[in-house]
Structure 1
Amino acid sequence: MAIVTTIRRDVVTLPAALPGPDNPLPPLRPLDEVHRIDERDRENLPADMARQIGHAPLHSLLPVPVRDGYGRAREPLRTDALILENDRLRATVLPALGGRIASLLHKPTGRELLYRNPVLQPANFALNGSWYSGGIEWNIGATGHTTLSCSPLHAARVPAPDGGEMLRLWEWERLRDLPFQIDLWLPEGSDFLYVGVRVRNPHEHPVPTYWWSNIAVPEERRVLAPAAEAYHFGYERRLRRVPVPAYDGSDRTYPLNSTFAADYFYDLPDGRRRWIAALDGDGHGLVQTSTDALRGRKLFVWGTGPGGRRWQDWLTEPGTGGYCEIQAGLARTQLEHVSLAAESEVSWLEAYGPLSAPPRGEWDAVLNGVEQRLEAVLPRAAVDAAHASWRAHADTEPDEILATGSGWGALEVLRADRKLPGTPFDEHTLGDEQAPWRELLRTGSLPEPRRVRPPGATLVAPHWRDMLETAPATPLTEYHLGVAQWHAGDRAQAVRSWERALELAPSLWPSLRCLAVADQESGNHERAAARYAEAFDDLCRERRDSGESWTAAMAALGREAVGALLAARRPAEARTVWERLLPETRERGRFRLLEAEILCAEGRREEARAVFDAGFEVADLREGDETLGRLWARVSDAPLPARYDFRMRPSAP
C-alpha cells in the first residue's frame, strides 16, 4: 500500500564552520564578476542571447551585505530540517540554509540521488560570499550563486494538488526586489519529487530576472542532455560553441575528462523535451526534467587539474569523493538575464527522480534511449498537467508555518500595502534590522541610534532613496542617503551627502570609508589611502568593546585600509593598521596573507616566504582569485605549493 506523503521536522548534525557576522561595510564597489565574456565572442552569438547577456547587469551587491565572517574550523552544528517523504523518496530540506535539498534518497534501492556533502563549509562562491556545496540549491537574483545560499527562507505546510501535503518555501530576493516561492511535493506512490516555482514581479516596471536550479551529483557519472552542441565557458572568460559529446579529442560528458573548471551550456533544440541526467557506469542515477519555461541545461565540472582537485577538497572533505553540477535555468546560459514584465509572473514545474538507462554508446542512440525511458516513467504530458494542477494551488494560504525567513519582505509589503496570495510576509517577522526603516516609513524620519555603534543595514531602492531625501538631514540619514545615491549612479551627490554627514556625525569612520571608496573609484589613490587611515584611526578610538559587531567592523575596515595604503605605496602605515587589529583577527588566514603582502612591500621577501611556509588558509578566497599564486611568484621561484593552488584556468600564473 502506498504511503501518503508526509512532512515532518527533524534535526541534521554536520561538522560545520560557523557563519560568523556579516561585513558591516556597505558593498560600494562593482562586483568582481568572473562570469564575463570577451566582447569578440558576443558578435558570434544568437541575437537574443547577445542581448540578454548584456541585459541590466548588477553593479553592486547593495542592499545585501557581504558575508565573510566564517572560518575553516568546524564543530558539530545542529540545524533544523524538514523531511518530505512518501513510500518511494525521502527529501531532506534545510530551510535555514537557503531551502537547500541536502539529500534525495530513493528508498526501494537505497540510492542517494544527489551528492550529499558530509560537511558544511562556507566558501566565497555566492554573490555575497558565503556558500556551501552539495544537494539542490535555488539560485535567483543575478549571475552566480544566490545571496540567500546561507540565509533562512520562510517555510510552511500547504495542501498539495493531489490532496496530500506540500512544502512551500518563499522569500523576498533583495538584489532585484522580487518575491518567489518554491513548492515541493511527492505525489502518492511517485518516484519523482515535484517542484513548482513561481517568481513574481509586483512592480510597475519590468525587472531583469535570473534563475538556475543547481544539482550536485557525484562526478563519476556521464552527464546526458538532448543537445548536439553546447556553449563552453572557461575561466579564460571566453564563450564558444563546441560539439557534444566530444571536442578537442575527449568526451566532455564525462566530468573527469576535463582538466580545468568549465561550464557547458547545452543548446537544447526548440520543441524538444527539457531534461538532464547523470548516470553511473551501470546506468543508474538522477534525472531532472521540467516544463519548457525552464529552458537551459548545464554541466559544471571542476576538472582534474591541481586547482580543481584543491577546490574539491576545500569545499567538501578530502577522501569523500568529488562532485559536479547539473543545472537548469530560465535562459540558455548563466551569463544571461531575462526580462520579467511589470506586474507579471513566471512559473514552471521541475521533477527530480531516479532513472536507469544505458549510458554508453553512440550519442543519439543513448539520448533516444534515455528519453524513451524517461517518457515511460514520467510522461512529458504528466509534467505539463502537474504544472497546470499546481498553478491552481499556488495562491493557497499556508496551513502551518514551519520556519521563518527574513523581515525584508514584510517591510516591502508594508511599504506598498501589497497582498501576495500564498506567500505571507507578516509584520511579526520584522526584526531589529528593519526597525529604523519601519520608523522612516511611519514617521518620515530615520531615528538616530541611542548609542554609538556601526550604522547597520542600508536600503537603496528608489522608493527608499526618495524617503531619505525628504527626511530630516541627520548624520545617519545623510550616510544612508549617500549609499543609495551611489547605488543609483549619482556619485557626486553621494559624496556631498557623506561630506555633510561628517560635519555633525559622532562617528566619522563610516562616511570617511565611503569617501575613500569614492576616491579609489575616481583614481585618487593617495587621498583614498589618507581617508582610510583616518577612518581606521577613528574606529579604533570609537570601538566600545570586543564584541562581534565591533570586531567585524575593525577587521573589514582594517583589511580595506591595508590594501589602500599598499596601493599608495605606504607600507609603514599599512603595517601600523595591521598591528592595531585584534590578535585573533591577525591570526585569520586572510590577514596572514595581508601580512605577507606588507612584508613584500617592505622588501622583506624571505620573511614573506616564511608566512607561506608556516601555513595559512584564506577561508574567504574568491572563486577565480589568483592572489595566492601572484604573491607566491614574488616571494619564491619554486612551483606553487599544492595547498595554495586554486587555479581554475590554464593561463593563470
Structure 2
Amino acid sequence: MPDAAPSRIHLPDAPADQQALLDAGGVACWSEDVTIDTYEPGGPDPYPAFLDRRVYQGSSGRVYPLPMIESISHEKQPRAWRAIHLENAYVRLMLLPELGGRIHIGYDKVAGYDFFYRNNVIKPALVGLAGPWISGGVEFNWPQHHRPATFLPVDSRIEREDDGSAIVWHSDLDPLQRMRGVHGVRLRPGSSLIELDVRLHNCTDVPQTFLWWANVAARSHEQYQSFFPDDVRFVADHARRAITAFPHADRAYYGVDYPTLAAERPGADRIDVYSNIPVPTSYMITDTEDGFFGGYDHAADAGFVHWADPAISPGKKQWTWGDGPIGRAWDDQLTDTDGPYVELMAGVYTDNQPDFAWLMPGETKTFSQHWFPVHAIGPARQATTDAAVSVTTKGGRSRIGVLTTRAHGAARVEVRVDGGDTRITDVAIGPDSPAVVEVTGTAVEVTVVADDAILVRWVRRDAEPAEPWVATAPEAPERIEGTDELLLTAAHLVQYRHPTRSPLPYLREALRRDPDDARARTMLGAWHLARAEYAAAREHLEAAVARETRRNLNPRDGEAHYLLGLALERLGERDAADRRFARAAWNAVWAAPASLARARLALADGRPSDALRLADAADAIPEARRLRVLALRRLGRDDEATARLEDLVAADPLDPITVLLADAPAPSDPRAALDAGAEFARAGALEEALAATERTATGESGFGNLEPVRLILRAAWAEAAGHPDLAATERAAADRLDLGGAFPAGLDQHDALVAGVAAGSSAAAGMLGAWLLDAGRDDDALAALDRARALGADDPVVLRNLALATVRTGGSPDDAASLYETALARRADPRLVLERDLLAQLTGTDAATRLALLERHPAALDARDDLAVAHVGLLLDVGRLDDAWRILTTRVFRPFEGGEGVVLAAYDRAACLLARRDCAEGRPDAAIALLHAGIDAPANLGEGRHPAVPQAERFVALGDAHRLAGDDVAARAAWERACAATPLAVAPRPADEATFWIGVAHTRLGSHDAAADVWTELDARAAQIESAPDEVDYFATSLPELLVFDLDTADRRRAQAARLRELAAVGRTTADERMNA
C-alpha cells in the first residue's frame, strides 16, 4: 500500500564544471547520489533453490547459484542510490549502476516530458528471476529475460571522447553463466540521440546461449500508442505459439475476443493502444524490413523512437499488464503514484522470447542501439538515427511531421503525392524545432534531405504479406520419423533452455536408431561435461570423434575434438587433451579457443615459450591476452609483462579478471575473484590464484555467501602449490562457517570441492551436495551429503539438502521428515517450515496434523505468503473460518508473477464458506454483503481478477442468499452471472472444481441440458487425469513453481479424479431431485 506522502525523485543540478560544459553546448556527465524512496527487498534465502520445473519468460527459471529473495518490505524508506547523470541541451538521463546499470530516467528537455517511464520510487515486485524487479526506465536484459542481475550492482566508469561526447560504461559477469556483458550509454554534443554500445563476451570454455532485449518502459493511458513499421501486419505471442493481425487483432488473442469487442465498440481491436488490452499481453512482430519502432503519447504530443540495424535486431515487442483489474493490481505492486506503463522492448540477435542465439567460446559480439525523443509530429512511419517522419492523410490532404536528431538550418522535405507530383518545402529543423508540412493529395513518398544527404525516406507500402507460421510442440521422440528431426528437436530444446521438455529422450532415440551418431554423441558429451561426469563425457565424445573420422580424418567441424579435449583435461590426461585441442584448432571456429586451451596446458606444464606462442594465436580472446602476461612473467620478462598488463587495464578498465591480475581495487561482484583465481590456477599460476582470492569474499548479499567457497578453492590451490599448511588452515576455516547462501557453481569449483572432500572437509562435502543437486545428480548428492554428516556437519542447509536428496532418490519420507525436524531445531527458518509442510502434503498427512506442525512456527507463518496461504487452507479444512478470514483480510500479499490466483482462490473459498454459515444461521443479508464485497479483489490480496477465471461458486452462493432473503429476481441474476460467458474469457479451461458450480448455476436456472454437459465434462476430465499425468503446456510462459517436491503423484491424481467424479454425481443427483420436484 502506498504511503500518504507522494514520492518524487529530485534530480540534482549539474556541478559548476559540468554546467559550464552544458552552457557551451556540450555534454555534462557526473556521478552524484540521488535519494529515492525505496521498498527494500527481504534478505536472500540461505537455502539453495533447485527449481528444475520453473517456467520463466518461456524458458528455464532455474536460478542457482543465485539466492532467491521472496519478500519485499511494505514500508518505504529514503535511500541514497549511486546515480550517474548524463545530460546535453536536449536530453537528460539518470543511470543506476547499483540496479544492473539501467537507465532510470529519460527526460526530453525540449518537450518537458519523460519519454521513458519515470518511477519515483524503487518498489520491487516479485517478477525477477531471483525475485525483486522494478519497473521504469530501460532495463538491459541478458543473457536471458529478465536480466538475472537486474537487482545487483555492476561496475561503471565515465569516459570522455575526443568529440566532446560522454559515455557511461557498465560491466559485470552474468551471475548464472559467468559471461561478460558491457554496455555503454553515450550522449554527443548537439544531438538528441542516445547511443548504446554493447559488448557480449563468452569467457567460458563452452558454447553458450543468450538473448539481448533492451526493455523500455513508457507511461501509458488511453491516448498512448505503440508504433511499428508499416510492413508489420502480424504479431506473435511468446515462442510464436499464437499470432494475430496488427494493429487490428482479427482473432481471439490471450483469450480476448477482439473482433467481438470491436463490433460493440469500433476500434476496440486496436492492440497498439494500451487501453484496448484488458489482460496481461505480449506481442512481438513477426517480420519487418525496417529498424525502428517506438511509442507516442498523444496527450503530451511526445514520445520516443528506437532504431537498430534490422540485420541483427529483428526483435520488437510490446508488453502490458493490461488495462484491467490485473494490471491495476500490478501497478500498485510496482509504483505508488506513477500509474501504468507499457514495455517497448528491442531485441538484438533475437526476435521472440524465448529466442536464443549462440556465443562461441571466446567470442565477442558487439552492436549498437539508439533512442531519441520526438514531439509534435505524431507516431513515426519511418525513422533512422538522423530523423523520424510521420505521415497522415485525411480529407484529401496529407500532414507530414519531421524531427531530426541534430539541427539543420537548411533542410528540405520532398513529398511525392499520388499521381506523381512532388512538393518541396524548405525548413529549418532540429531536435527542438520539428517541421510540419501539409500538402494536397495522398502522400506516397517523403524524403528529408540536409547537407546533400538523405536523413530519412518513407515510401508507402501497399503489399499485404502472407500470414506467418505458428510454432507447434514437437512430437514424442518415438513418433518422429527422421533422425535429423530428432537431433534438431534436441538442439532446439537445449538452445531455447526449455523448462519442461528434456533433450535426452530425443538423443537416446537417435542413438537407438544409430548407436554411433556423431551429433547425438557430441550433444550428450556436452551434457555430461556440464554435469562434471567427465568419464561419461569422454565416452560419448570419443565415439563422436570415431564416427567423424571413420572416412575423413579432417572433419569439417572441430567441436567433438574440442569438447573431448576439455573432458580429458578435467580427467588429468593433459597430453591427450593437448592433441585433441590441436586437431580442433584446424577448424576456424574452434581455432582461438583451442589455442587458448593449449596455451593454458603449456603454461601449467612449465612450457612458457609454447604458451606465449599459442596465446598469440588466440590473441583476439581477452583470456589469452591475460595468459600472455602470465607467460611473460614465467619467462622472466617482468617489465614486458607489466607493460602488457597496463595496456590491458587501460584498454578495458572494467574487465574484472584483468583488474584482479593487476591487483587493482576489486570489482563489485565478489564471485569475480573466484573466477580470476580459477582462470589463473588452470594455467598453473597458483600464486596469482591465491593472491587474487586473498581478500575475504564480501559484497552485496544478493550475490550469496561466497566465503566458504573461496576457502575451499584456496585450499585446493594451496595444496597444488605445495602449501599443505595453508590448505589445512583454509579447509578448517571453511568447516567452521555457516553454509547458508554458499552455492558453488562451475566445474572449477566442483573439482575443488571433490578435492576438499578427499581431504576430509565437511564444508566441501556439504557444498558438493548442493552442486550435485543442482546438476540433477541426486544419487551422488546423497552420498556427498551423507559424507558431510559423517564428517560432523550439522548445518541446517546440509540437513535440508540431505532431506531433499533422500526424497529425490526414492528414500524414506520419514527419514526426510526427521532431517527437517533436526534442521528446524537448529534454526526455524521459514523455508524449512514450508518444505516440511510440503513433505507432509506429499505423504498424505491429514489437515489437523499439518496445521499443528505449522502453528509451532508463528514467525515463519508471518514471514512467507505461501506459508500464510497454506495456513489459511488448513484453517478452512478444519473449520476455523474466522481465523482464516482474519488472515485474508489483514495481511498484505505480494504474489510472484505468474503465480496469481492462489491467494484469490483461498479468499473466495473462505468467503463462500462464511456466507453459507451466515445463511444457515438465518443471516442472508450478511452473506449478501460479504459476497458482494469480494466481487472485486480486495487490494490487500495484491492481485486482480482475470476475466477468464469464473467466480461461479461466489455467484451461486450469492443467488442462494438472495433467494433465502426472498429476492428471486436478484437470485436469478446472480445465477446467470455464474454461468455467463464474455468476450474476455474465450480461451478453453480444463474442467475443475470451479466448473461444478457452473453446472449448479445451470441447475438453479432450470437449464438441465447445459448442466448435464457440465457433469459430462467433469467425468471426461476425471478420465483424462486417470489416464496420464497432465503435461505442462509446451509453450507455457510463466509458471513460478518454487516447490522442491513434485506433488503431482499418482495418489494425488487419483484423489483429484475421484473428487471430480463425485462432484459430477452430486450435480446429477441434485438436478434429478429438482426435476422430480
TM-score range, shorter chain: 0.7 to 0.9
Provide the C-alpha distance between the structure 1 equivalents of 2:25 and 2:674, rounded to a whole number of angstroms: 41
Question: Which residue is equivalent to 1:629?
Answer: 904
Tell me the secondary structure at the aligned position of residue 316 of structure 2.
strand
Q: Deviations over 1:590-631 (max 9, x none)?
A: 543332133134343453233213x21223534343211232
Provide the C-alpha distance between the structure 2 equivalents of 1:246 and 1:287, rounded to a whole number of angstroms: 22
Tell me the secondary structure at the aligned position of residue 437 of structure 1.
helix
Provide the C-alpha distance between the structure 2 equivalents of 1:161 and 1:256, rounded to a whole number of angstroms: 46
- The code of the aligned residue for 1:461 comes to G
Provide the C-alpha distance between the structure 2 equivalents of 1:286 and 1:265, rounded to a whole number of angstroms: 18
Query: Quick one: higher RCO (CA 8 Å, sep 6+), 1 or 2?
Result: 1
Indicate conservation of the 8 Å contact 1:156/1:403, yes or no: no
Question: Which residue is equivalent to 2:854?
Answer: 578
Provide the C-alpha distance between the structure 1 equivalents of 2:198 and 2:381, rounded to a whole number of angstroms: 35
Provide the C-alpha distance between the structure 2 equivalents of 1:374 and 1:348, rounded to a whole number of angstroms: 27
Provide the C-alpha distance between the structure 2 equivalents of 1:27 and 1:497, rounded to a whole number of angstroms: 18
Question: Which residue is equivalent to 1:172?
Answer: 173
Query: What is the aligned counterpart of 2:943 among 633, 646, 652?
Result: 646
- The code of the aligned residue for 1:150 comes to F
Question: Which residue is equivalent to 1:482?
Answer: 769
**1:180-259 matched pairs, under 5 angstroms:** 180-220=181-221, 221-226=224-229, 227-233=231-237, 239-247=241-249, 248-249=258-259, 250-259=269-278
Shift of 1:288: 1.7
Indicate conservation of the 8 Å contact 2:26/2:164, yes or no: no
Indicate conservation of the 8 Å contact 2:294/2:303, yes or no: no
Structure 1 runs (4+) greater than 6 angstroms displaced: 360-364, 370-375, 378-383, 399-403, 425-430
Q: Deviations over 1:188-238 (max 9, x none)?
A: 12112211111101223210112211111011210011252344438xx98
Query: What is the aligned counterpart of 1:3 among 20, 25, 50?
Result: 25
Query: What is the aligned counterpart of 1:13 among 35, 42, 54?
Result: 35
Indicate conservation of the 8 Å contact 1:408/1:430, yes or no: no
Q: Deviations over 1:292-314 (max 9, x none)?
A: 32320110011122112111122
Tell me the secondary structure at the aligned position of residue 40 of structure 2.
coil
**TM-score normalised by L of structure 2:** 0.51
Query: What is the aligned counterpart of 2:711 among 439, 464, 478?
Result: 439
Question: Which residue is equivalent to 2:426?
Answer: none
Provide the C-alpha distance between the structure 1 equivalents of 2:29 and 2:342, rounded to a whole number of angstroms: 29
Question: Which residue is equivalent to 1:314?
Answer: 333
* Matched-pair identity in %: 21
Provide the C-alpha distance between the structure 2 equivalents of 1:362 and 1:466, rounded to a whole number of angstroms: 57
**1:322-401 matched pairs, under 5 angstroms:** 322-330=340-348, 331-356=350-375, 358-359=377-378, 369=390, 376-377=404-405, 396-398=651-653
Indicate conservation of the 8 Å contact 2:135/2:334, yes or no: yes
Could you list the runs of 5+ residues in structure 1 that have no partner in the other structure?
Answer: 37-56, 384-392, 420-424, 544-552
Indicate conservation of the 8 Å contact 1:310/1:642, yes or no: no
The alignment covers a number of residue pairs equal to 599
Shift of 1:20: 2.6
**1:263-278 matched pairs, under 5 angstroms:** 263-269=282-288, 271-278=289-296
**1:395-434 matched pairs, under 5 angstroms:** 396-398=651-653, 405-417=668-680, 431-432=697-698, 433-434=705-706
Indicate conservation of the 8 Å contact 2:779/2:805, yes or no: no
- The code of the aligned residue for 2:794 comes to S
Question: Which residue is equivalent to 1:500?
Answer: 787
Indicate conservation of the 8 Å contact 1:155/1:403, yes or no: no
| Cα 1:427–1:505 shift into 2, 3 Å | closer
Tell me the secondary structure at the aligned position of residue 673 of structure 2.
helix
Question: Which residue is equivalent to 1:42?
Answer: none
Query: What is the aligned counterpart of 2:75 among 73, 93, 109?
Result: 73
Indicate conservation of the 8 Å contact 2:671/2:706, yes or no: yes
Q: Deviations over 1:551-596 (max 9, x none)?
A: xx71222222233324434344543443343648626655433321
Question: Which residue is equivalent to 2:323?
Answer: 304
- The code of the aligned residue for 2:390 comes to G
Shift of 1:34: 5.0
Provide the C-alpha distance between the structure 2 equivalents of 1:573 and 1:262, rounded to a whole number of angstroms: 42
Q: Deviations over 1:265-313 (max 9, x none)?
A: 11232x4224333443464111222233232011001112211211112
Shift of 1:181: 0.6
Tell me the secondary structure at the aligned position of residue 83 of structure 2.
strand
- The code of the aligned residue for 1:303 comes to G
Question: Which residue is equivalent to 2:118?
Answer: 116
Question: Is the deviation greater in 577-586 or in 64-73?
Answer: 577-586
Question: Which residue is equivalent to 1:618?
Answer: 893
Which structure's CA Rg is the greater one? 2
Query: What is the aligned counterpart of 1:594 among 870, 878, 884?
Result: 870
| Cα 1:607–1:112 shift into 2, 3 Å | same
Indicate conservation of the 8 Å contact 1:593/1:618, yes or no: no
Tell me the secondary structure at the aligned position of residue 32 of structure 2.
strand
Indicate conservation of the 8 Å contact 2:200/2:364, yes or no: yes
Question: Which residue is equivalent to 2:884?
Answer: 608
Shift of 1:523: 7.6
Indicate conservation of the 8 Å contact 1:261/1:303, yes or no: yes
- The code of the aligned residue for 1:504 comes to L
**1:136-151 matched pairs, under 5 angstroms:** 136-142=138-144, 144-151=145-152
- The code of the aligned residue for 1:217 comes to A
| Cα 1:518–1:630 shift into 2, 3 Å | farther
**1:28-67 matched pairs, under 5 angstroms:** 28-36=50-58, 58=60, 60-67=62-69
Superposition RMSD in Å: 3.6
| Cα 1:573–1:503 shift into 2, 3 Å | farther
Shift of 1:243: 1.1
| Cα 1:645–1:516 shift into 2, 3 Å | same
| Cα 1:358–1:105 shift into 2, 3 Å | closer
1:559 is aligned to 2:834: yes
Tell me the secondary structure at the aligned position of residue 277 of structure 1.
strand
Question: Which residue is equivalent to 1:456?
Answer: 741
Q: Deviations over 1:463-512 (max 9, x none)?
A: 32222223224222122112222222322212221222222333153233
Question: Which residue is equivalent to 1:542?
Answer: 826
Tell me the secondary structure at the aligned position of residue 246 of structure 1.
coil
Indicate conservation of the 8 Å contact 2:210/2:357, yes or no: yes
Tell me the secondary structure at the aligned position of residue 417 of structure 1.
helix
- The code of the aligned residue for 2:279 comes to F
| Cα 1:521–1:146 shift into 2, 3 Å | farther
Provide the C-alpha distance between the structure 2 equivalents of 1:90 and 1:361, rounded to a whole number of angstroms: 22
Shift of 1:368: 6.6
Provide the C-alpha distance between the structure 2 equivalents of 1:505 and 1:402, rounded to a whole number of angstroms: 38
Question: Is the deviation greater in 191-200 or in 284-293?
Answer: 284-293
Tell me the secondary structure at the aligned position of residue 242 of structure 2.
strand
Say which structure is richer in helix.
2
Q: Deviations over 1:67-114 (max 9, x none)?
A: 124222212222121111222211111111221211111223322111
Tell me the secondary structure at the aligned position of residue 145 of structure 1.
coil
